[in-house]
Amino acid sequence: MRRSLSFIIVCALLGALLAGCGTQAGQESEGISVVATVFAPYDFARQLVGDRGEVTLLLPPGSESHSYEPTPKDIIGIQNCDLFIYVGGESDAWVADVLESVGEGVRTVTLMDCVELLEEEHVEGMETEHGDEDDEAEYDEAEYDEHVWTSPRNAKLICEKIAAALCEADPEGEAEYAAALESYSQELDELDAAFKEVVSGGVRDTIVFGDRFPLLYFAKAYGLEYYAAFPGCADETEPSAATVTFLIDKVREEGIPVVFHIELSNEDMADTICAETGAKKLLFSACHNVTRAQFEAGVTYLELMWDNVDALREALG
């Protein structure tokens, strides 16, 4: 895979050289250029940039971020942009090679440098990726959850870093970026307050995901307990019968009314748990990506998270 990526980078850089200065000049005339790897920071940047430039999402809508590999066009876009925003975890480990190849001129914001990181958890009943306990010593190194944007409070911190980077890249737009940040931060504060209200008014504080759980930062922000099949950065694998049985029993024992799935999953596990327990299946969006239809309709992080407010209210009620 590393050799393949190196070949792609070489081809991309050759293509950029052949294109000459025309592409760069064309981009400059359109205003500031921002590239983001996944949906949440793409939308943050879009809200902050406004009409001052263009924001590009690398991850194709409808696809899984953990299996993404950059194309030559993506690499050229990164090389020519004014600001590149990426997560910083294992799912975009390819970024290091790309940045090394395109040189030091690319301004970046790394999401995992914007917030206090949380180590991935393996709660009761959750599948582990590493198999036998005898092999655990091999995996002593801490693994941090990458989905830092799922907490609105973290989203606010990330937006502050993005706004600062935009001001550095485009000083003439500083007043506009500051105004956009202030307005968007207020909207994130309102979202945060809504989640707090739902949690404080709930009759329970436990949620169940028949899926991966990329909502660790969200759960910790609002004091929620959770059960799920896999941690957030787990590879997409089939759960064991023991895991599914555990989640079914937990839903029955605690009278959990809702079983969540995340976006773009096959939903099979959630369907099974709901069929056995009578619970309702609902989507809880982690905002890592959206469908093609949602993308073309211009859906936003805030819209998705307000849908999560309603879903959470039903799950805790």
Every domain of the chain and the residues it spans: 2-132+147-187, 202-316
Residue type at position 235: D
Q: How far apart are CA 178 and CA 180, in angstroms?
A: 5
pTM of the model: 0.89
Distances (CA, A) of 8 to 3, 69, 87: 9, 10, 21
pLDDT band at 102 (very low <50, low <70, confident <90, very high): confident
In angstroms, rounded to a whole number, what is the distance separating the alpha carbons of residues 41 and 213?
Answer: 19
Label each residue of 109-133 as H, E or C. EEHHHCCCCCECCCCCCCCCCCCCH
3-state secondary structure of 211: strand
Judge whether 310 and 194 are in contact, CB under 8 Å: no
- pLDDT over 90 percentage in the chain: 77
Query: Do the domains 2-132+147-187 and 202-316 sit in the same CATH topology, yes or no?
Result: yes
- The predicted pLDDT at position 140 comes to 55
Q: Which residues of 248-269 are buried (b: 16+ CB within 10 A; e: fewer)?
A: bebbeeeebbbbbbbbbbebeb
- pLDDT of 137 > 60? The answer is no
Assigned architecture for domain 2-132+147-187: 3-Layer(aba) Sandwich (3.40)
User: For all residues of the chain together, what is the average pLDDT?
Assistant: 88
Task: Indicate whether 118 pLDDT > 60.
Answer: yes
317: CB partners within 8 A, 6+ apart: 202, 203, 257
Please tell me the predicted confidence (pLDDT) of residue 303.
98
Residue 150 confidence (pLDDT) above 80: yes
Give me the CATH code for the 202-316 domain, please: 3.40.50.1980
pLDDT > 60? residue 1: no
Q: 278, 279, 287, 277: which is closest to 307 by C-alpha? A: 287
